[in-house]
Structure 1
Amino acid sequence: MKIAVLGNGIFGSAMASYLSKKRHEVVFDMIDNSEIIFVCSTSNLVLSSLLKLQKEMTNQKIIICSKGFAEEGKLISEVLKGNFKNEIFFLYGPTLAEELEKGVPSSMVLAGGNGKEEIKKQIESKNLRVELSDDVIGVEISATLKNVMALFIGIAQGAGYGQNTAAFVFTKAVQEVKNIGLALGGKVETFLGLTCVGDLFLSSRNRLFGIELGKGRKLDEISSETGHTPAGIFDLKNAQRMVKKLDIKAPIIESLYKIVFENCPVRDTIKEIISN
């Protein structure tokens, strides 16, 4: 099968390598008569990446792997709705790019409507287990907020708290994602699965960045040293706007915003969450 991959960054390259080992023909950043399109670009470029190639599209299935908010702080599904007649699916889960490429056993969730069973047959292997879900909003919200929550989990770790506090913060992060997801129509079981609990378990770049913030270092200092600013920082403002619009309590998002953008002391902020 011919598969197009949009976005040749770390994850896009790893996914292309994996699919090639499955004996699929892979092309980058073009349609070229492909049957499936994997979108692995940064989340704020998903719509523009697809629009550039829209004239070449026919009935290809589109699989979104990008995590985070889209343009204007909207969900990816929101900005794609109405722009494409193609069937759209979301493929997320606790899958580090380097481990996927090396063939380390991994699992992901494919969410969408009709046709996902056939896609599963094409991409699943002995090293990649694919679960199916019809809870698109729950899966998408989990992936969208994952980077934000990973930052806060890292901050608690970097601040020197023990495992008791780490477990508390991790649990509260899962609960907060669940509450937001349920408010938007997600299913509770989704937030106990791979795309929420599973993905938050990973030691991602966002968590590592959070560890440095937890040590008391400034955002600009860490970004300058590492050469990048993680997606969770960009997603944080959008996450705060989302919870305000939904009018629900989100203490981790609110506390993280204070730490990152208002220079509130880390330990005072974490103590406030624990006491409440």
Structure 2
Amino acid sequence: MNAKIGILGGGSWGTALAMLLAQKEYEVHIWVRNESQAEEISVKRTNAKYLPGISIPKNINVSTIIKDVVKDSEIILLAVPTNSIREILESIGDAVVSGQIIVNVAKGIEMRSMKMISEIVTEYYPDNGFAVLSGPSHAEEVSREIPTTVVSASRSKEVAELVQDVFSSPAFRVYTNPDVLGVELGGALKNIIALGAGISDGLGYGDNTKAALMTRGIYEMSKLGVALGAEADTFSGLSGIGDLIVTCTSMHSRNRRAGILIGKGYTMAQAVEEIGMVVEGIKTTEAAYNLSKSLGIEMPITKEIYNVLYNGADVRNSVQKLMSREKKHEMEIVASLKSW
């Protein structure tokens, strides 16, 4: 038996990664809040709400006592929604000890502080190794061992490579990257564009519209990322354009599905209720919009999605505003340096 790994969160992604690690014979423990969910996983070996039709291996343990899962774990995997991260870290308290590595797989920006998860974790555990695991990776497919590639990002080469080794499998290829901020932002911001892609689908628009949203969306993502200190090249990688493609095109994506409902006339609240799980892109839209305003960065797609979600703007009017904006050069930086 390999080392113990503690997974905090029994949603679709936490469960899928638990299955991957259990297959590699790690000692896997999952923490869940709900007693009934813990009983379902323990007895029925299913997690029907989050991964219907999947059988959970018997060598995956489950508990509702979070400190028991954290204790003696070589890696502590954070697989809870972004805006629950701080609460989870506070509940762990001093159960985390030196040498334990914290890995985050959530994708978002904390609303109240506008901080990335790496920054929040550093507040609580500045001396522990940290990595983020991100990329185009639907839990539904990972649980079925469909070939997937992701990136392990850490400021420590040793930590990035350790996480790479732990999670790599014949169906799950892991690359490394030192740009933690860029990888985190790519995973968070693409959910905004996925909402837009879903809205486009809900309105009955076609491939042309979605291609435009995705292409201009990755530009917005990289523009905000670079302003915050990320590397532009990261947004051309797995956690940027890769994650954007999969989230904007798949029905596994909660963000796209929520967008489809909004495009069909649902309110934001109605769409979230219908999805039945956290839609990270909704809060990320507000966070990114506020960041863009504070930094003086133009992000027109984000702005219009924000107006639809939070100001009740008509979706067709928002599309018209985007289409009728002032004419621009496609590559604004290039245009500022060169002339015809």
Shared fold (TM-score greater than 0.5)?
yes
CA 1:131 to 1:234, structure 2 compared with 1: closer, same or farther past 3 Å? same
Q: Unmatched 5+ residue regions in structure 1? A: none
Asked if the contact 2:258–2:275 (Cα under 8 Å) also holds between the matched residues in 1, the reply is: no
The two structures have a TM-score, normalised by structure 1, of 0.95
SS in 2 for 1:66: coil
Which one of the candidate residues 238, 247, 264 is aligned to 2:296?
247
When the two chains are superposed, the root-mean-square deviation of aligned CA atoms in Å is 1.6
Compute the displacement of 1:214 (Å): 1.3
Distance 1:12 1:194 in 2: 20
SS in 1 for 2:5: strand
Counterpart in 2 of 1:23?
A: 25
Distance 1:33 1:223 in 2: 37
Asked if the contact 2:111–2:284 (Cα under 8 Å) also holds between the matched residues in 1, the reply is: no
Counterpart in 2 of 1:122?
A: 166
Counterpart in 2 of 1:3?
A: 5
Which one of the candidate residues 98, 101, 104 is aligned to 2:140?
98
SS in 2 for 1:89: strand
SS in 2 for 1:63: strand
Which one of the candidate residues 205, 210, 215 is aligned to 1:171?
215
Distance 1:226 1:71 in 2: 21
Compute the displacement of 1:107 (Å): 0.7
Greater Cα shift, 135-144 or 49-58: 49-58
Q: Which structure ranks higher in relative contact order (CA pairs < 8 Å, sequence separation ≥ 6)?
A: 1
Compute the displacement of 1:135 (Å): 0.8
SS in 2 for 1:86: coil
Greater Cα shift, 26-35 or 229-238: 229-238
**Post-superposition CA distance 1:135-163 (Å, at most 9, x none):** 11111111121222210111112112121
Q: Does 1:54 align with 2:77?
A: no
Counterpart in 2 of 1:212?
A: 261
Compute the displacement of 1:210 (Å): 0.3
Distance 1:55 1:199 in 2: 34
**Post-superposition CA distance 1:188-243 (Å, at most 9, x none):** 11101111111121221100110111122322333344434522112222121111
Greater Cα shift, 45-54 or 12-21: 45-54
Compute the displacement of 1:81 (Å): 2.3
Greater Cα shift, 134-143 or 225-234: 225-234
Q: Unmatched 5+ residue regions in structure 2? A: 32-68, 326-340
Greater Cα shift, 46-55 or 126-135: 46-55
Counterpart in 1 of 2:336?
A: none
User: Which residue identity is paired with 1:162?
Assistant: G
Counterpart in 2 of 1:38?
A: 77
Which one of the candidate residues 124, 140, 144 is aligned to 1:83?
124
Tell me which structure has the larger Cα radius of gyration: 2
SS in 2 for 1:91: strand
User: Which residue identity is paired with 2:21?
Assistant: L
Aligned length: 276
SS in 2 for 1:94: coil
Greater Cα shift, 76-85 or 179-188: 76-85
Q: Does 1:137 align with 2:181?
A: yes
User: Which residue identity is paired with 1:125?
Assistant: S
Q: Identity of aligned pairs, percent? A: 35
Which one of the candidate residues 251, 267, 272 is aligned to 2:321?
272
SS in 2 for 1:125: coil
